Amino acid sequence: MAADNGQFKVNIEIPNQVNELLNRLGAHSYRAYIVGRCVRELIGGTSTVDFDIITDAEIGRIRAIFDIYNVNIDNLIKGEIIVTVQGMPVLIAPYRKGFTEKGSPIYTESIIEDLQRRDFSFNAIAYNPREGFIDPFGGVECLLAEQPIVDVIKMQDDARGDTPGALQKDEELSTFERNPVSILQALGYYSSGDYIISPAASDSIFLYKDYLNDASPSDLRTELSWVLHGRNTSVVLEEYADVFIALVPEFAALAGFDLKRPEYSTDALTHTFRSVGYASPILSLRYAMLFHSLGKPDCFSEDEGGNGHFHGHAERSFLYAQKIMRRMGFSEDETREVGFLIKNQSVDITNDRRSLKMRLREMPPERLKMLLQFKYADLKARSPEFESAAMACKKQVDAVNEIVAMKECYALHQLAINRYDLIQSGLVRNDEHANTVLERLLDMVIDAPAFNTRTRLLGAAEKIMRDIMVK
C-alpha cells in the first residue's frame, strides 16, 4: 500500500493481524495507529514482528473491545496491554504524553503529545491505512533522506491538538534536556552505522552532556553498551569525546596526555577510543579496551631518553575500571571478566604452539582468545609499524582454535591416563608421586601430541618413577 507523505511515496505493508486490531478499534469509532519502531522499520524496508498501536480509546475500553482475544495485562500499570491475534502479540495503549515519577501513565487526548515524547523524529511517526502518516516532526523525510538523520524532537509544554500547526514554537524543550539518556540513545543510532546526527541535534548533545549526571546508572549502562556494540563505535567515541568525559570523568586525565612512546601516534584518549573500534563487538572486550589505559597517567615516568614508562598501570587501570563499573551497576561477573583482561594485558604470549598450550594450562581457550583479541586491538590502535604484531595475534587465535579442534592435549584431564591408572598399575605409591608423574607426562605430550596414548604414557611413567626413586 502506498502512502503519500508530501513529496514522498512510501509503501507500507501491515500484517493482517495488525489490520484486524486497527479495524476493530475503528469499528468502535476510535482512531488507532501503528507507531514507533515498527513504522520506522517498515519505511526502511525492514521486516518487523514487534508492533505497537496507540489509540484514543481509554484503557478500560481497549480491554473490553478485545476481551474475545488472548489479552496479557501484566503491564496494565503502565497503561498498556498485549493482544495476541493469530499468534502475533501486539502492544496497544491509549495516547500517553509521559509518566509520573512513580511510573504511572499520564494520558492525553492528543496524538501529537504522544508522539512528541518519543525523543527522535524517526520514532515519532504514526500510521494507519485509512489516514496515512501522522508525522509532525518530519520523521519520514528523515528516514528517506540519502542517509537517515537522527534528529531531536522539540518538546512544547503548551502543545495542543492533533496537527503540527497547534505546536507552540516559542516553548521548545530539547529532548536531551528532558531525557539525558537520549543523548546516548542518539549516539547508539550513530554508532550502528545506519544513521547520522543532524548538526542541530549534535549541538544539543554537547550543550546538555552534563545532564547525564542526573540519569539512572542502569539506563546509562544499557545505552553505553549499545554505543560500544556498534560498528562505528570508535568514530562516535572520538567525535563526542567530551560527552564520554562527562559520562566517565576519569577519561579527562587521558585527554591530551602524551604517552611519549614511539609506538603511540596519538594521545592516550584517542588511542583508547580507537582500540575499542578494533576490538570484536563483544561487550566485555570492548569495555576492557575502553578502560585499559586509565591507570597510565598515575603510573607515568620518563627515562633519560625522554621515553615514557607506565610500570604497574594494568593493576591501576583495573582499579579504575572496577570503580566505574560498580558505579554504573555492572554485575560482579561482568566486572570480573573485564578486570581479567585489563589486569593481564601485559602478559607476554609468544607465537609458538607450545607457548600457547602452556597458556592453555592456565586459562580456558575462550579466555586466552579474548586476551589475544585484546592485544590485537591495542596493537592496531598504535602506529602503523605495529600492524605485523597485531596480525600475529590474529594468527595465534587461529592456532588456539586449531589446537582445540584437533583435541591436542594441554591439560591433565586430557591425558590418556589419570591418577587412578597410575595407582592401579602399581607405578606410584601416593598422590604426590602421581601428581609429579602426570605433570611431567603433560610436558612431554605438549611437545609431542602423538605421544598421548595409554601404552606410551604408562611406559614413560615407569621411567619417571625410576628416576624419582633414584633421587
Is residue 205 within 8 A of residue 314, CB to CB? The reply is no
Q: What is the mean pLDDT of the chain?
A: 90
Residue 78 cell numbers, joined? 503502565
Q: Which residues of 291-316 are buried (b: 16+ CB within 10 A; e: fewer)?
A: bbbbbbbebbeeeeeeebebeebbeb
Task: Tell me: pLDDT of 159 over 50.
Answer: no
Mean pLDDT of the 289-314 span: 95
Q: What is the pLDDT of residues 26-50, one digit of tens each?
A: 999 999 999 999 999 999 888 888 9
Q: Are 176 and 184 in contact (CB under 8 A)?
A: no
Task: Characterize the bridge pairing of strands 105-107 and 96-99.
Answer: antiparallel
Mean pLDDT, rounded, for 431-441:
92
* Cell (9 digits) for 85: 491475534
pLDDT of residue 47: 80
Backbone phi, psi, residue 208, to 5°: -110, 15
Q: Could you give the maximum distance between any two Cα atoms of the chain, in Å?
A: 99
Per CATH, the number for 146-247 is 1.10.110.30
Distance of CA 185 to the CA centre of its chain: 12
pLDDT top residue among 6 and 65: 65
pLDDT at res. 12: 87
Q: Are 14 and 2 in contact (CB under 8 A)?
A: no
φ, ψ for residue 106, nearest 5 deg: -105, 105
Has residue 154 got a pLDDT over 60? no
145 — pLDDT class (breaks 50, 70, 90): confident
| pLDDT digits 0-9 by tens, 381-433 | 998 889 999 999 999 999 999 999 999 999 999 999 999 999 888 888 888 89
**% of the chain residues with pLDDT over 90:** 75
Q: How many CA atoms lie within 13 A of 401 on its CB side?
A: 10
Amino acid 175: pLDDT: 83
Indicate the pLDDT class of residue 152, thresholds 50, 70 and 90: low
> How confident is residue 1, by pLDDT bands cut at 50, 70 and 90?
very low
The rounded distance, in Å, linking the Cα atoms of 118 and 134 is: 14
**Which percentage of the chain shows pLDDT scores above 70?**
92
The answer for 447, left when phi > 0, alpha when psi is -120 to 50, beta otherwise, is alpha
Architecture of domain 2-139: 2-Layer Sandwich (3.30)
Nearest residue to 186 via CA among 133, 137, 246, 240: 240
Does residue 125 have a pLDDT over 90?
A: yes
Instruction: Return the C-alpha cell found at 402.
Output: 586449531
Q: How far apart are CA 402 and CA 41, in angstroms?
A: 41
Given a contact cutoff of 8 angstroms between Cβ atoms, the answer to whether 284 and 337 are in contact is yes
DSSP 8-state class, residue 74: T
Structure-block grid coordinates of residue 17: 493481524
Q: Mean per-residue pLDDT for 190-194?
A: 90
Give DSSP secondary structure letters for 175-189. HHHH-THHHHHHHHH
In this structure, what is the dihedral angle of CA atoms 417, 420, 422, 427, given to the nearest 10 degrees? Answer: -170
Q: For residues 53 and 39, is the Cβ–Cβ distance under 8 A?
A: no
Among 164-173, 203-212, 359-368, the least confident range: 164-173
Confidence of residue 271 (pLDDT cuts 50, 70, 90): very high
CA distance 214 to 255: 24
Q: Concatenated DSSP letters for 258-308?
A: ----TT--S-HHHHHHHHHHHS-S-HHHHHHHHHTTTTHHHH-EE-TTS-E
Say if strands 149-150 and 105-107 run parallel, antiparallel, or are unpaired: unpaired
Q: In this structure, which amino acid lies at residue 461?
A: A
What are the residue boundaries of the structural domains of the chain, listed by start?
Answer: 2-139, 146-247, 248-405, 412-470
Query: What pTM did the predictor assign?
Result: 0.84
**Rg (Cα) of the chain, in Å, rounded?**
30
Within its chain, how far is the Cα of 385 from the centroid?
A: 30
Average pLDDT rounded to a whole number, residues 46-62: 93
Q: With cut-offs at 50, 70 and 90, classify the pLDDT of residue 167.
A: very low
pLDDT at residue 161 tops 70: no
For β-strands 126-128 and 132-134, DSSP reports them as antiparallel
Confidence of residue 171 (pLDDT cuts 50, 70, 90): very low
